[in-house]
Amino acid sequence: RRPTTSSLASLLGLRSLALGRLGGLEQLREATLRHGPLLASLCSCALLLGVGWVQKGRQQRFGKGDAQTKHANIPPALAGAAAIDGEHLGVDAVTKVQAALTDGLLQNPHTPSVEELEAGLDTAIRGASLLGGGGSCGSAPLGLDEADAAKRLADFGQNLLTPPERESAWVLLLKQIFGGLFNIMLWICVVCELVLAVALDGDDLVTPVVLSVVIVASATLQWWTEQQAEGMMNALQEMQAASAVAVQRRRHGGERVELQIPAEELVPGDVLLLEAGQRVPADVRILACTDGSLVENSALTGESVAEPRTAEAAPAGLALVEARNVAFSGTTVLQGRMLGVVFGTGDSTLLGQIATKIRTSRTRSSLEIQIEHFVHLIAFVAVGIGLLSLVANIASPRKRGIAEVLENAATAFFAQVPEGLLPTVTVCLMIASRQMAQRHVLVRKIDAVETLGCIGVLCSDKTGTLTSGKMTATDLAVPCPVGSGPEGIEAASSEESLLETPVARDWSQEVFGHDAILALARCGVLNTGARPDSAAPGGAVGSPTEVAIFAGCRQVLGSDLTEATRCGLPQVFEIPFNSSAKWMLTVHAMTGAAEECGREAPHFVAVLKGAPERVLAFCAVEPAVRARAEASLARLMAQGKRVLCLAEKPLPGLGPNFRFEGSGVDDVNFPFEGFALRGLVALEDPPKEGVADAVTRIARAGARTVMVTGDHPATAEAIARRIGVVSPSPCSPGGDAEAAAAAEFRVVTGAQIEVHAPPGGDESDLGDDAKAAAEAALFWQRCVEHTRVFARVSPMHKRSIVRAYQHIGGHVVAMTGDGVNDAPALKEAEVGIAMGIRGTEVAKEAADIVLLDDDLQSVVAGMEQGRLCSENLRKSIMYTLCSKLPQVLPTFAELAGVPSALTAAQVLLIDIGTDIWTAIAFAWQPAEGELMRRAPRHPSRDRMVDGQVLLYSYGYVGLIQSIACWVVFFGVMPRMYELFRADKHPSEYSIADSEADYAGMTSYYWTLVLGQVGAALAATTTRQSALLRWAPNRWLTACIVLELLLALLVITWSPLQNIFKTRCLSAPQLLAGLLGFVLIG
């Protein structure tokens, strides 16, 4: 930006030279005294430009460092939480109060005993329990005293995340209008025009007014679009607000009361009861819970499988996020009931600390980089042309007054500035944003769409983004006689494996092994921890695994047979699932069995479900059947699926009133062996519909999809292979070194990243140890080149991965995700994309784009829109620059005594009256060819405006237009060559000479207008003939028609003739003006 400031200062400084030559020093002094405020405004604009340059330099040198060291000296709230990302997370004054209150006992809140926890939190939690199997709370005093709770609420504040600082909408509007290098450049043009018009007695006030309207209108449109997006974001967040929670507190005298309070009023020390289906409102240490309690931590960890919870204290040294006795804010209770004590609220929660960590400056968009480069380029060209014009006017043998000299120089300067760029950019982005909105995509920052078209790497979370986020039963495997099944069976029963069949098929027709499949399905709907609910997805509520098995088996049996099975075999006894036994057992009464089959028929049947190796140990199966079951198990697990085994056993000899007892194999009072194997059920979080196609289209567009997940490596790789992220034909590790490296680095885990993690998480700084830095650099280079799956990664690992692709790979990166663990990477990437349905509030706040329907295919559509937007901007700029050379040549031609061919008013008429609207119309230009079959454009290497664009606009079309204009000017118009040979000053012209000169200027103007029509049509395509795209889009066609009508009006209507010094042309002269159009076409 400095060249612009210094050159403008030079332009102003050279006025004294011009005035000295023309004897106008006194005139300048008077103008300065009379119009001091206007000159001060001009100097202020120049100063603003310089300040902007300095501020930008400071941001580039220190911006990132400042953001990273903002909380460097503040201790972490929880050491366990800090262990997740390997960095100290910032805390505020409220967290310091909490640290003082707990006196250091909660540095690891999952490890202290209940007594230590009670002393640290100063609350009553001893004896906390859930009475009975139903989960009712006891009557012992629990929780905080009500007065103490009110005091803590005042000290700690509400249980809410501190919202990011938001500027006033009006401040944002002012920034849109007056901020940015290009806007500053345009406002300087406006101020200079006002100075010329007012201070130096000019007569053109229309140009600064029109230009001001264009700037304000463009900025207001962009501001309005982004304000609408923010309004939708606020509505989404209000819809996801937490509900009231049940809290145990004490009144005076120790009386225990249960209160329903809003979640935002929770404070450390509160004891609350959490039910299945409830979202955890704060970080909670579990004091008691029912057996088999499960929580979904995918928002924090990326794990698609629900995690069990227990009340037992965790061992020392275990990371907080891995503790089973803690429920984190933002997660969901899927099964069971829990009684817990709050130890973290608001920003002190793990979720809050991650949210605080990502409050840094956003990565600049590719459009900002492109506009900045273009403005620097145009500023250099415009200032150079302006200075040359100033010198030319001063050195010209035709003496001019100061106002005329400065007006001509300023006109030459302004003629090189594409005033239509700003509205064109705004309209392009608004069109893209509106089209994305029709696909249920919320674009929070409209320039993110253009950046999306430049991405070379799409880093995507797995759970909820690439997959549905819901466990589903996919396959059944049953033992049956060896044979070949009919069509529809995926793998027929053979000597190697069980009979395997997909769940998703038509079960109305009987298939091979139908009886065995029905027997397995009956076991699945009987032995279940899910509670049938016709209104719930899958027809049941409960843990994802239980609901998935029930829904899959219900699909096989049908609704009627499922209901009949459950009614005919009611459950009378259950041993719940636990993590040590890894199985659950249910016993069912066989109603009506004695009447149908005699007194010896069994009255009960036991159904066992659990881990295959545990269930098979209780089954009486032949070795061959066991081998086939193990083969099927290995095959299904190799696909990344979770597999459970089901078996059943009639219990003969037990009377109808038998009372079942026991909690395990060792203490049950009935036989626990000799079960009959019924089969295997395979489960997975399946890929979303259309994801594989989206990944293929992204690859076809020259970009790469990389899976970044907290899930298990085997599961992640299996899903990645199915959707095409990993090639189905992996490289052999036994090949050359490159193939071996590709195989080794195809899947990288968080443990490997931790070993090679750079200090501070910045991949551009790999430390001082040369050897370690070299190893880390090689590791990250291999990751960037070969890795397709990053598994078991933490939130800060995800951010490091994004940075590696940016700084080491040199890619423009987009990140998709839905959880809190994705938020740091969403903020770090050039484009952050959050899921609207499953996405957490933190993830949406960190994102630039929100997919309201969670459909990854919308990202592909966004890439195409971004590429189209970039292409149309490039075409618009190409078109606008085409007229710059023929506009400025008449100024320099006057040095040789050539009659004036184009006035300043005519130049501004072309720029403001015609070119600006046609340039905007390029925003509606449809794509030519296959945009998604081209390599992505990198904003730093493949400039939107590069040497090719300048050569095309100035050296090809601009040169053709200039030749055509001069040919018509001298060859078609009478007397122009005579005036040139006569070498007269305009003050010496006779009336006839002036009329001839006006006619010559009119022909030059008309030829240039028609040449610009040809340039507009030529710029609509870079790969096809312009003749094949005669009417590219209706807006561009309309603008061309209006441009021609305006030009004819200026030529023929006397009021405009007097303003712009034009005259009527004859029909042959009008036709001659087509020369430029024909040559360009």
**Residues paired with 816 in a beta bridge:** 460, 833
148 flagged as catalytic: no
Q: Which two tokens stand for residue 581?
A: 């036994």
Q: How far apart are CA 517 and CA 490, in angstroms?
A: 14
Torsion of CA 716, 718, 722, 728, to 10 degrees: 120
Distance of CA 514 to the CA centre of its chain: 47
Q: How far apart are CA 640 and CA 717, in angstroms?
A: 7
Q: How far apart are CA 809 and CA 829, in angstroms?
A: 13
Beta carbons within 10 angstroms of residue 883's beta carbon: 26
Q: How far apart are CA 199 and CA 196, in angstroms?
A: 6
The contacts of residue 758 (CB under 8 Å, 6+ apart) are 765, 766, 767, 776, 800
The contacts of residue 200 (CB under 8 Å, 6+ apart) are 31, 402, 403, 406, 407
- What does each C-alpha distance from 780 to 738, 756, 785, 799, 807 come to in angstroms? 15, 8, 8, 13, 10
The contacts of residue 993 (CB under 8 Å, 6+ apart) are 975, 979, 984
- What does each C-alpha distance from 718 to 646, 747, 1006 come to in angstroms? 24, 11, 66
Q: How far apart are CA 1040 and CA 528, in angstroms?
A: 71
Distance of CA 1006 to the CA centre of its chain: 48
Q: Which amino acid is at 556?
A: V
- What does each C-alpha distance from 470 to 327, 467, 505, 537, 850 come to in angstroms? 20, 8, 19, 10, 20
Q: Which two tokens stand for residue 636?
A: 């299904």
Phi/psi for 1049 (5° steps) reads -65, -40
Q: Which two tokens stand for residue 354?
A: 């991650």
In the block, tokens 């600006």 appear at 916
Phi/psi for 653 (5° steps) reads 85, 0
Q: How far apart are CA 428 and CA 436, in angstroms?
A: 12
**Do the strands 789-791 and 704-708 form a parallel or antiparallel pair, or are they unpaired?**
parallel
Would you call 924 exposed, middle or buried from its count of C-beta atoms within 10 A (0-12, 13-18, 19+)? middle
Q: How far apart are CA 465 and CA 299, in angstroms?
A: 11
Identified catalytic residue from 283, 347, 461, 855? 461
Degrees, nearest 5: CA angle 775-781-784 = 140
Could you list the active site residues?
Answer: 461
